[in-house]
Amino acid sequence: MTTLAEGPYDPQRSDGIVALITSVLDAGLQSGCNVYAELGSTWRFLMRDPDSAAHALGKLFKHLGADNVLWGTDSIWYGRPRDQIQAFRSFQISEEFQQRCGDPAITADMRAKVFGLNELKLYPVAEDVLRQHLGGDAVARARENYRNAPDPTFLSCGPKNRREFLNFLAWGGSG
């Protein structure tokens, strides 16, 4: 079975993330250029295979830079992305891959960039506005309440099989 990102960067391949990296390199662009990788469905599929996930993220961070990888979600299709967020929060590129492939370790700073700070380059919001609203917004309050009484759930919403999907469509297909 071929995965999305087998192995380190190989310019002989012409698919998936390798095609993106090759196009960036062929154009003479450097890390931090105006090319961004949004994880979306890619991470959803990669998180099932830690080696492929490490190779994919390693290539993106190495060639595009930590400032050019964005968090995205296709929750409209797959339901809540909580499992994906939890997996990304704890994921690390192994020391073996770091040494063998030159991939970077994923730091807390890199995660913060991917989870939102990088988007500020594309959709700027003044830092004082961020400080004013983020610390006490509904999400921050919910996060603090959760820390005081954690109760994780891995419930995915939406149809789980063909019959449920067809019933959903017959019902009108909207919430």
Indicate whether 3 pLDDT > 60: no
Residue 70: beta bridge partners? Answer: 38
The answer to whether position 40 is within a domain reads yes
The answer to whether position 107 is within a domain reads yes
The answer to whether position 158 is within a domain reads no
**Percent of the chain topping pLDDT 70:** 94
Give the domain extent around 33: 16-124
How confident is the model over 150-162, as a mean pLDDT? 79
* Closest of 19, 21, 114 to residue 72, by C-alpha: 114
What is the model's pLDDT at position 4? 46
The answer to whether position 22 is within a domain reads yes
Tokens representing 62 are: 């190495």
User: In this predicted model, what pLDDT tens digit does every residue of 10-47 receive, in sequence order?
Assistant: 778 888 889 999 999 999 998 888 999 999 888 998 99
How confident is the model over 137-159, as a mean pLDDT? 79
* SS3 call for 123: coil
Pairing state between β 37-38 and 69-70: parallel
Task: Please state, in angstroms and rounded to a whole number, the distance separating the CA atoms of residues 93 and 66.
Answer: 14
Indicate whether 152 pLDDT > 80: no
The answer to whether position 5 is within a domain reads no
Count CB-CB contacts under 10 A for residue 87: 17
The answer to whether position 159 is within a domain reads no
Task: Please state, in angstroms and rounded to a whole number, the distance separating the CA atoms of residues 98 and 3.
Answer: 20
- In contact, 58 and 8? CB cutoff 8 Å: yes
Task: Please state, in angstroms and rounded to a whole number, the distance separating the CA atoms of residues 93 and 103.
Answer: 7
Q: What is the mean pLDDT of the chain?
A: 86
- In contact, 29 and 60? CB cutoff 8 Å: no
The number of distinct structural domains making up the chain is: 1
- For residue 109, the surrounding DSSP H or E stretch is helix 108-112
The answer to whether position 138 is within a domain reads no
Confidence of residue 6 (pLDDT cuts 50, 70, 90): low
Confidence of residue 2 (pLDDT cuts 50, 70, 90): very low
In the DSSP assignment, the letter for residue 48 is T
User: In this predicted model, what pLDDT tens digit does every residue of 73-101 receive, in sequence order?
Assistant: 777 888 888 889 999 999 999 999 999 99
Regarding predicted confidence, which is higher, 48 or 152? Answer: 48
The answer to whether position 165 is within a domain reads no
User: In this predicted model, what pLDDT tens digit does every residue of 98-131 receive, in sequence order?
Assistant: 999 999 999 999 999 999 889 988 889 888 888 7
